[in-house]
Chains A and B, each alone.
Chain A
């Protein structure tokens, strides 16, 4: 059972396409895994569509747009085309598995469609691995894999961090996060994610470098740029 969801604003902007590419991937992947949010998204799509296209609430601009809108030529041009079915419909064959350290992870649909964007895995600290997902845009989308019994040194973020559990379990000071859980943190939160008896594959979107805050791990600060290559 998924306990942590994107907030309504995230979902709404996912529906309208107004989040950064990294956050769209994060929210989209959560939605793949979460029937509750699938319903929310469908409702929001209906609401937006009604607002845009509903007879009653036709926007004011419509009348202005209508004055200058002569669609006949466009209409004729479109209908002069012969609808052709695309034959390349074997998309079901797309690989939807991620193989790492001999383990196989099934990727949710959004990630499976973008599998060609997943870069090479690099070892970070201890039993922690990372692979970038190259999607363009300013912010960073990255897979992070933690083997069991791994702890990330306490850190904060200058910007915001969203984390989604793709497979497994991790804990921080406040909660336990499992498959599909979506955690959104702003710069004020310090946390120490760790895995215990299970490993954990997460997807993370970061919009500024991490700052390690405690003791010796502050030495790792230059190292945080590794997350951002």
Chain B
């Protein structure tokens, strides 16, 4: 494994034409991080964006430590979630800005320790692991399957759908669902069985 560090990259002569401020180059670097966890590509992105993020965060917070936290959290997301970057929706630097904007929003609220506070993900789902458009070229097969399943679930009677969502989306046990809805465990079981049976029929009817 190569050990390119930020410092080494900074010393690199600037003759190389492609810099991360070139949108195509930055997008290519993100793609390398997404597909093969390229450390070199990430290091290049890091050495370009991290100081700039720090300048932004320092201006926002006026606090060195908080600024560093924002840099770390933002770049960690870039490392872990590069696969969520969609080049057709905007440039790499725009994507990184929206991640930083969200983290800043949550930092500003966290300090107040209030209940019910809105989270940045709800406002701007930059890092949501879902396809919100069906024409997404980058959709993975299992995302498609999930979408189809979600569509089928919409067709279930409401009582069954609620049970299915609580069990398969929220991961509750049948007993927890019974308690949450105030209905007998047997009812939860029969609704689950009927819903799965119906889903099976719907899936086969589309084959």
Contact = CB atoms under 8 A, between A and B. Distances in A.
Interface of A: 15-17, 21, 24-25, 28, 42, 45-46, 48-50, 52-55, 58-59, 61-62, 65-66, 68-69, 71-72, 74-79, 81-86, 88-93, 95, 109-110, 113-114, 117, 134-137
A49 B93 contact: yes
Q: Most chain-A Cβ atoms within 10 A of its Cβ — which of B48, B76, B149, B168?
A: B76
A143 B200 CA distance: 38
Interface residues of B, number: 70
Contacts of B96: 49, 53
A69 B50 contact: yes
Contacts of B83: 83, 85
Contacts of B80: 81, 83-84
Interface of B: 5-7, 19, 21, 37, 39, 42-43, 46-52, 54-56, 58-59, 64, 68, 71-72, 75-76, 79-83, 89-91, 93-94, 96-98, 101-102, 104-105, 109, 114-118, 120-125, 128-132, 143, 146-147, 149-150, 153, 165, 168-169
A45 B71 CA distance: 19
B123 A110 contact: yes
B38 to A, nearest CB: 10
Contacts of B132: 109
A83 B82 contact: yes
Nearest to B38: A79
B54 A69 contact: yes
B118 A89 contact: no
A100 to B, nearest CB: 15
Contacts of A84: 80
B52 A62 contact: yes
A71 B46 contact: yes
A84 B19 CA distance: 28
Nearest to B73: A78
A134 B89 CA distance: 31
Contacts of B91: 46, 49
B79 A65 contact: no
Contacts of A54: 21, 93
B55 A61 contact: yes
Nearest to A68: B64
Contact of A53 (B5, B93, B101, B130): B93
B55 to A, nearest CB: 4
Given A69-B50, A92-B130, A135 B118 contact: yes
Contacts of A69: 50-51, 54
